[in-house]
């Protein structure tokens, strides 16, 4: 890949400037902070294009991706679109010679991931996905304690859990055909955390799903009837080193559970976090001594450094660093999620392929 002389030479843009979470502005601001130059916005809603122009005076605006690719000199495009559009839109940009970052999840299926990686190699461009949570304070400390210091010995099991109890919202993330399923949103984060700690090949994945309850409770005019996500889904991952990871995302469980628990031969590391104001926002370490006595310590999570994602992208594109979130790395959670869905349908475990 041809490198840029300086970060300011990297002209960046976003595909999607919708109002949800104001993510278009967030991405462009983070890229600007990393030294890159906000240059273009593509958005089908004319009102949101006006917002983009107000946020970034002088920025190029386009109502279609085809127009942007034909007319703009933008170098790097970030895709902030529904999950099922990540692959087709990213592939179109790669074929046009543009570097690409997709919002997580990378894509929806293993096949899409492999095709996008092959396209990027063919056209000699960078492809990555927005795993800014790779640098979250809780996982950064966990990696130091578990991987580097081996505080809890050898990790043999990981429990990952997220969700609650309630009717899904009326938005595209509730559609299985658009989102990929209930596992894809937070499950992608939790798997990426897990893979930072468990350094081993994926052998096989088993998937389990509970369907139909919330669909039976939905109003007749609910737009996603017939295409709703699972009420709850689970992925069980077996690694070559013997470790097992259990991921569960649910809308049927009223019990608040730790999002991540790492079990080792010498203790347990619990990450209580994140997303709820009354969460304890802390790590807990339970370690046994030779007399089988349990000592518990805890503390607050270190500061998260999600800004390091685009700093790394800028440094990679200017030849100053290796890429952290490679497309091959981004593929690993997608392969697990894809296999879990296929396993749930088939009722049997699915073998992993070069994962």
Q: What is the CATH number of the domain that holds 90?
A: 3.40.50.720
The arithmetic mean of pLDDT across residues 166-177, rounded, is 96
The pTM (predicted TM-score) of the whole model is 0.95
The arithmetic mean of pLDDT across residues 286-315, rounded, is 90
Determine which helix (DSSP H) or strand (DSSP E) holds 250, and give its type and residue range.
strand 244-250
Q: Among 100, 130, 160, which residue terminates a domain?
A: 130
pLDDT at position 279 is 59
In this model, does residue 303 exceed pLDDT 70? yes
Q: Among 95, 130, 165, which residue terminates a domain?
A: 130
Write the pLDDT tens digit of every residue in 262-275. 999 999 999 987 55
**Pairing between β-strand 244-250 and β-strand 232-239 as defined by DSSP bridges:** antiparallel
pLDDT at position 269 is 96
Percentage, residues of the chain above pLDDT 70: 97
Give phi and psi for 145, each to the nearest 5. -75, -40
**Measuring CA to CA, which residue among 72, 75, 78, 69 is closest to residue 59?**
72
Task: Please give the tally of structural domains in the chain.
Answer: 2
Please give the residue range of the domain that contains residue 41. 7-130
Separation CA 58–CA 294 (nearest Å): 61
The arithmetic mean of pLDDT across residues 225-229, rounded, is 97
Determine which helix (DSSP H) or strand (DSSP E) holds 246, and give its type and residue range.
strand 244-250
**Domain match, 166 and 281 both:** yes
Is 313 inside any structural domain? Answer: no
**Domain match, 150 and 163 both:** yes
Is 17 inside any structural domain? Answer: yes
Q: Which residues make beta-bridge pairs with 283?
A: 271, 299
Each as own residue / partner, the long-range contacts of residues 121-126 (CB below 8 Å, 24 or more positions apart, any chain) are 123/94, 123/95, 123/97, 124/1, 124/2, 125/1, 125/94, 125/97, 125/98, 125/99, 125/100, 126/1, 126/76, 126/99, 126/100, 126/313, 126/316, 126/317, 126/323
Write the pLDDT tens digit of every residue in 110-142. 999 999 999 999 999 999 999 999 999 999 999
238: left (phi over 0), alpha (psi -120 to 50) or beta: beta
Q: Among 130, 152, 185, which residue terminates a domain?
A: 130
pLDDT at position 293 is 81
181 three-state secondary structure: coil
Is 311 inside any structural domain? Answer: no
41 three-state secondary structure: strand
Residue 83 CA: distances (Å) to CA of 87, 129, 177:
8, 12, 9
**In residues, how long is the chain?**
355
Is 261 inside any structural domain? Answer: yes
Separation CA 161–CA 248 (nearest Å): 5
**Domain match, 179 and 289 both:** yes
The arithmetic mean of pLDDT across residues 53-77, rounded, is 97
**Domain match, 122 and 143 both:** no
Cβ contact 101:85 at 8 Å: no
280 three-state secondary structure: coil
Residue that the structure tokens 């640098």 belong to: 135
Separation CA 26–CA 31 (nearest Å): 9
The arithmetic mean of pLDDT across residues 65-93, rounded, is 98
pLDDT at position 177 is 97
Is 325 inside any structural domain? Answer: no
Tokens of 246: 């259990």
The arithmetic mean of pLDDT across residues 251-266, rounded, is 94
């Amino acid at each position: 890949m041809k490198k840029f002389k300086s970060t300011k030479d990297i002209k960046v843009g976003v595909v999607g400037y919708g109002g949800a979470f104001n993510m278009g502005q967030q991405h462009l601001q983070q890229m600007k902070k990393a030294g890159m130059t906000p240059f273009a916005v593509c958005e089908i809603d004319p009102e949101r294009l006006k917002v983009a122009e107000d946020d970034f005076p002088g920025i190029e605006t386009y109502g279609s991706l085809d127009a942007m690719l034909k007319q703009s000199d933008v170098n790097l495009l970030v895709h902030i679109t529904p999950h099922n559009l990540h692959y087709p839109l990213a592939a179109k940009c790669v074929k046009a010679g543009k570097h690409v970052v997709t919002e997580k999840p990378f894509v929806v299926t293993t096949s899409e991931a492999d095709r996008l990686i092959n396209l990027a190699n063919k056209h000699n461009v960078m492809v990555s996905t927005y795993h800014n949570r790779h640098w979250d304070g809780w996982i950064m400390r966990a990696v130091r304690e578990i991987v580097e210091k081996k505080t809890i010995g050898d990790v043999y099991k990981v429990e990952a859990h997220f969700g609650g109890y309630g009717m899904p919202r009326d938005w595209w993330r509730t559609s299985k055909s658009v989102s990929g399923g209930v596992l894809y949103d937070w499950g992608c984060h939790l798997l990426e955390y897990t893979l930072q700690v468990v350094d081993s090949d994926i052998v096989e994945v088993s998937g389990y799903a509970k369907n139909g309850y919330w669909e039976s409770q939905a109003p007749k005019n609910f737009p996603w009837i017939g295409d709703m996500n699972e009420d709850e889904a689970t992925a069980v991952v077996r690694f070559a080193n013997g470790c097992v990871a259990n991921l569960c995302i649910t809308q049927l469980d009223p019990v608040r559970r730790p999002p991540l628990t790492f079990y080792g031969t010498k203790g347990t590391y619990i990450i209580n976090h994140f997303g709820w104001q009354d969460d304890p926002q802390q790590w807990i370490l339970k370690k046994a001594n030779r007399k089988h006595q349990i000592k518990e310590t805890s503390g607050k999570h270190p500061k998260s450094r999600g800004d390091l994602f685009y700093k790394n992208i800028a440094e990679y594109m200017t030849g100053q660093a290796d890429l952290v979130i490679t497309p091959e790395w981004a593929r690993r959670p997608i392969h697990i999620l894809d296999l879990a869905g296929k396993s749930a349908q088939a009722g049997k475990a699915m073998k992993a392929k070069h994962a």
